[in-house]
Structure 1
Amino acid sequence: MTPPRRQHLRRRTAVLATVPVALAALVGAAGATAPGSAGTSGAGDPYFPLSGNGGYHVRHYDLTLRYDTSSRHLDGRAVLTVRATQHLSRFDLDLKGLKVTGVTVDGTSSAFRRDGQELVVTPRRTLRAGRDFRVTVSYEGTPKPVTDPDGSADGWIPTDDGAFVAGEPQGAMTWFPANSHPKDKASYDITVTVPQGRTAVAGGTLLGQRTEHGRTTFRWRESRPMAAYLATVTIGTFKVEQYTTHDGIRVYNAVDPREASAAAPVLRKLPSVLAWESKLFGPYPFRSAGSIVDHAPGVGYALETQTRPLYDSAPDISTLVHENAHQWFGDSVSLTAWKDIWLNEGFATYAEWLYAEQHGGDSAQKTFDALYARPASDHLWAFPPGDPGSGGNIFDTPVYARGAMTLHELRKAVGDRDFFRILRAWTAGHRDGHGTTAQFTRLAERISGKRLDGLFHTWLFGKGKPNSA
């Protein structure tokens, strides 16, 4: 994600076999384990205590949506294939602001109630631990965004021709019922019907589209595990470009005509950017790629929606590099807690520095030096990026810039050979899964053979301006 511009840097069954379920224990850990107990109303994240839920793991989402761009009305049907990680007498889903018209569990009508952003479901019978079950939620209404702690809009954001749908960190619940925390990842089928002339773009591969009776239906599939916040169904009037790269990656670009002229020179560089990032970070983790360039001047940020980043306007090359670096750092390798957000944003920012260094721009050292020259009173040193705190800090300057500075200090300490070995080992070892700061520290120490806990403590967790090595 690129940060909001007001800040200095700115933000089916066949598929199920591809989704690992090893994270079920992580997701269920927040809940009680007694037979017939209720799943918790949060995944245990201190920054967003109600995000996600305990007691189960969603393996697959099958979303069928119909959106009217004139009335801004959404009709939705979500079918979730779920595995219980404890005996469940009741469980929650995250869903905010939309009217639920029915809930079934394995085809049987179930009791439900609303409690703030929680949809509380009580099945007819207790669901036993280890059992797979299917939840169907029918809902409708006018989706609206939520306001994040930093004041930016998040979720389903209406535009003049459709909607800009960006879910980080808590916006997924504004348009579908979810276990909305990054540590619960699933595959997705998304079918969206919109007025003819509009395009609905999601992540993954376009399986097909058809137009009849004045409406067009688009069918998308993302078979790789994806966190709920990385899903999108951005809708608008778009010029569409499709091609396959030399590496076999299927590219789908959707660009608002008002942004097409400015976006074209940058989007032409996407294949070379992906090839460059693949050389540094390891093979591209998905089968599809592309860009969604909307005309949404009031949004103020871009987001690394999985396989197909979402931009509120034509991106520059640094933003393109940043959001696509997230496909490795944040999308394929995801967070288990929001306090580790530097693992996403620091890495994507450092990718910008590396790209500039290797493409005729400033060296990473020069960029580091310019930042380090800022006085101790500068906002850059306001809080440690390794645990920025709740509120608006997780998408603020220190997470991005000081996170990147941490990586540069690591590079200097271990040398280029080991540094890039660390990055490639990180993305390979945690592909389709999750990672923590402690795991990254241990990996760096193992590959380099050096004690690095002091470096990471100073740059990620120390207060104030660190002493540079």
Structure 2
Amino acid sequence: MRVVIAAVTVAVLALSGCSDDKKEQPRAGAAPSFAPGSDGAGDPYFPTYGNGGYDVAGYDLKLKYDPASGKLEGSATITATATQDLSRFDFDLAHLTASKVTVDGQAATSKAEKNELVVTPAAGVAKGKAFTVVVEYGGEPKALTNEALGDGGWMRTKDGGFALGQPESASTWFPVNDHPKDKATFALAMTVPEGVEAISNGVPAERATAGGWTTWRWTESKPMASYLATVVIGQYRITSSTHAGKPMVIAIPESLPADGPAARSLARTGEITDFLATQFGPYPFDAYGGVVIDDARVGYALETQSRPVYGSVFFRTQPNPVVVAHELAHQWYGDSVALERWQDIWLNEGFATYAEWLWQEHKGEQTAQQAFDRAYKGFDWHVPTGDPGADRIFGDAVYQRGAMIVHALRKTIGDDAFFALLKKFPADHRDGNATTDDFINAAEQVSGKDLADFFQGWLFGTTPQPKPTS
């Protein structure tokens, strides 16, 4: 996920599912037995995040935001497929109020329960049926606060606002199944006062201005985990170009120098992405870019899909291409291949941190081995990387020990197998989700080695692991 400047601990999820093979199956032709979808996705780390009973295919948002009042209003069109016979279902939605909900064009009833929007359609939705929900809603969006992670979601600024955060963010500005396992496409038409910029994920489309308001349009056509959706509204210098035949959009706030460290760092996005493609395989999305936010509340960077967002704190005194390498690596490890459960966040952060080491080695600054040795010295091993706990998902066990695991695996299976694995894993799971077990299986398949003991010790051991000698 994100790179954090200050030590920030976070709570995150891990998914579980169960089945009962002895459960009696309904007779062929029997009438559906409609039941409510669950109000959580079943992730052990964050049981209330996400929802059950349906799978979202896409979100299409048409919104208007007024920086003067802080009010957001508009509609969300959500296309989904029922994964059970549904009598009702929930969306995650915090602080905002739905005024009208339809399901397949028919009026539905809805009510707010804590941070959930509970929708009851006029008739049950049968398992396997595709359906469309339109929610008209509005209000004053606000961030959600978690004692372990801090604020996440919508934050108002004097000239606009932005939506950003992990593991929870999207539910503060649109109705959503807010768990990474339910990836979906994303389209946004955001109307803001003329002269104000609105930057989001994916490919930009034509802007339209009328009556003092401008509508900015963005489309992310590849499935995206909900926490990777972002919008940044305010006074920005936008540089639009193309790279490798795809649009590149970089936004720097007007409060920062036009040619300062932040702008010079993000100007290397194409160069860094091209290097990472030699390590991880072809770039997986249809657009490039990045956004810098000059706000003291953002002491981190986040891999928002196709267009990472960086806190200006990373660029206070000099360019910082290393953080750019970290967030761009996530486009493969974390975005294209997303978490199935929050427990496995090391698959995101370990590989993104290792990408920093690869980039520094590429530029002749230090070798990956030197970075490993520096991280290994004096490391505190008591938190297991493979199950750090919900309040430690942004800790050193996930980032630094995660990267050490990647390097130790490289030394254990050899460079040929290792670099083949770095490309095979994101290719095999492109646009989907994966778990630690999926990665272990891939590593054993590529290397031809039994790696059970290696991963058991490095992922779950609580004592120092021996340095690999090969």
Deviations 1:351-403 (A, max 9, x none): 0011101111111111111121115xx4xx24111111112x11112100000
Q: Displacement, 1:28?
A: 9.6
Matched residue type, 1:7? A
Secondary structure, aligned partner of 1:225: strand
Task: Give yes or no for the alignment of 1:353 onto 2:357.
Answer: yes
CA distance in 2, matches of 1:276, 1:159: 36
> What's 2:293 paired with?
294
Cα distance in 2, alignment partners of residues 326 and 173 from structure 1: 22
Distance 1:83 1:442 in 2: 30
Secondary structure at the counterpart of residue 466 of structure 2:
coil
Letter in 2 for 1:225: P
CA gap 1:10/1:338 in 2 versus in 1, 3 angstroms: closer
Partner residue of 2:29?
none
In structure 2, how many angstroms separate the alpha carbons of the residues matched to 1:420 and 1:160? 47
Q: Is the counterpart of residue 410 in structure 1 residue 409 in structure 2? A: yes
SS for the counterpart of 1:466 is coil
* 1:30, distance to aligned residue in structure 2 (A): 9.2
User: Aligned equivalents of 2:17 and 2:39: distance in 1?
Assistant: 11
**Would you say the 8 A contact 1:188–1:222 is kept in 2?**
yes
Distance 2:369 2:213 in 1: 53
Q: C-alpha distance in 2, partners of 1:154/1:223?
A: 24
CA RMSD of aligned residues (A): 2.1
d(CA) in 2 for partners of 1:82, 1:88? 12
TM-score (norm 1): 0.92
Relative distance call for 1:302 and 1:28 in structure 2 (3 A) is same
Equivalent residue runs for 1:274-293 within 5 Å: 274-293=273-292
**Cross-structure match for 1:444:** 443
Q: Distance in 2 between matches of 1:365 and 1:215?
A: 54
Alpha-carbon distance between aligned partners in 2 of 1:352 and 1:251, rounded to the nearest angstrom: 22
- 1:248 pairs, out of 233, 237, 245, with 245
Please list every run of 5 or more consecutive structure 1 residues that lacks an aligned counterpart in the other structure: 12-25
Per the alignment, residue 16 of structure 1 pairs with none
- The residue that corresponds to 1:385 in the other structure is 385
Could you say which residue in structure 1 is the equivalent of 2:255?
A: 258
The reply to whether residue 215 of structure 1 matches residue 189 of structure 2 is no
Deviations 1:440-461 (A, max 9, x none): 0011111111111111111111
Structure 2 residue matching 1:101: 3-state secondary structure: strand
**After alignment, is 144-153 or 269-278 more displaced?**
144-153
Partner of 1:268: 267
Partner SS state of residue 345, structure 1: helix
Q: Check the 8 A contact 2:3/2:302 in 1, yes or no.
A: no
Which residue among 120, 129, 132 is the counterpart of 1:122? 120
- The 1:386–1:428 alpha-carbon spacing in structure 2 relative to 1, beyond 3 Å, is same
Code of the residue aligned with 1:468 in structure 2: it is: K
Structure 2 residue runs of 5 or longer lacking an equivalent are 26-31
Of 78-87 and 150-159, more deviation after overlay is shown by: 150-159
1:28–1:62: structure 2 CA closer, same or farther, 3 Å change rule? farther
Q: Give the letter aligned to residue 426 of structure 2.
A: T
Separation in 2, partners of 1:50, 1:370: 39
Partner amino acid for 2:383?
F
1:310–1:176 Cα change, 3 Å: same
Residue 160 of structure 1, CA deviation: 2.6
Which segments of structure 1 move beyond 3 Å, counting only runs of 4 or more?
1-4, 8-11, 26-34
Q: Are residues 68 and 30 of structure 1, via their aligned partners in 2, closer, same or farther at CA, if it must alter by over 3 Å?
A: farther
| SS of corresponding position for 2:207 | strand
Question: 1:76 Cα shift?
Answer: 2.5
**2:28 match:** none
- Residues matched between the structures, number: 449
Q: Which has the larger displacement, 195-204 or 163-172?
A: 163-172
1:17 corresponding residue in structure 2: none
Instruction: Give the distance between the partners of 2:51 and 2:9, measured in 1 at CA.
Output: 32
Counterpart Cα distance in 1 of 2:242 and 2:67: 31
Equivalent pair of 1:164/1:235 in contact (CA under 8 Å): yes
**How many angstroms does 1:8 deviate by?**
8.1
The equivalent residue for 2:337 is 333
CA distance 1:335–1:47, shift in 2 (3 Å): same
Residues 1:372 and 1:382: Cα distance change in structure 2 (over 3 Å)? same
Q: Give 1:7's aligned residue.
A: 7
Match of 1:181 in 2: 179
**Cα gap change, 1:27 to 1:243, in 2 (>3 Å):** farther
Deviations 1:103-154, CA, capped at 9 Å, x for gaps = 1111111111111111111111110111111111111111111123424211
Q: Secondary structure at the match of 1:208?
A: coil
| TM-score calculated relative to the size of structure 2 | 0.92
* Contact 1:27 1:184 (C-alpha < 8 Å) held by counterparts: no
